[in-house]
């Protein structure tokens, strides 16, 4: 079993993780867009996001400047952040879960 080629399984797990992250990001962006529209924004296609921060002391910060960002860029930024922070951890967990299930079969 240890000699089994795992390339296809690894690719399937990675694809599944990408789908999970994409769905989560899409849900967040859709909620933000809907919130904007429900509260007076014309189309919910863009929003203000912090572009610069300043220290206020005691380890806290406040927003110094805001930039207008398209929802597309907001979505891409969220996706990139989750990919960087979580993707490998999610793949490792999914792989471990699969191997645990396989071991139960033997």
pLDDT of res. 1? 45
Burial of residue 78 (number of CB atoms within 10 Å: 0-12, 13-18, 19+) = middle
pLDDT digits (tens, 9 = 90+) for 62-89: 999 999 999 999 999 999 999 999 999 9
pLDDT of res. 73? 95
pLDDT of res. 14? 94
Q: Where are the beta strands (DSSP E) in 30-98?
A: 46-57, 60-70
Of the candidates 37, 41, 33, the residue with the CA atom closest to the CA atom of residue 78: 33
Of the candidates 60, 31, 59, 32, the residue with the CA atom closest to the CA atom of residue 48: 32
Of the candidates 20, 25, 21, the residue with the CA atom closest to the CA atom of residue 73: 25
pLDDT in single tens digits along all 106 residues of the chain: 444 566 788 899 999 999 999 999 999 999 999 999 999 988 889 999 999 999 998 889 999 999 999 999 999 999 999 999 999 999 999 999 998 998 888 7
pLDDT of res. 9? 86
């Amino acid at each position: 079993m240890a000699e089994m080629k795992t390339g296809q399984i690894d690719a399937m797990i990675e694809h599944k993780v990408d789908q999970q992250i994409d769905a989560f990001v899409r849900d967040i962006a859709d909620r933000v867009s809907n919130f904007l529209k429900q509260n007076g924004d014309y189309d919910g296609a863009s929003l203000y996001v912090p572009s610069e921060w300043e220290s206020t002391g005691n380890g806290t910060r406040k927003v110094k400047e805001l930039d207008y960002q398209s929802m597309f860029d907001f979505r891409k930024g969220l996706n990139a952040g989750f990919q960087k922070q979580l993707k490998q951890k999610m793949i490792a967990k999914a792989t471990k879960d699969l191997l645990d299930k396989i071991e139960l079969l033997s």
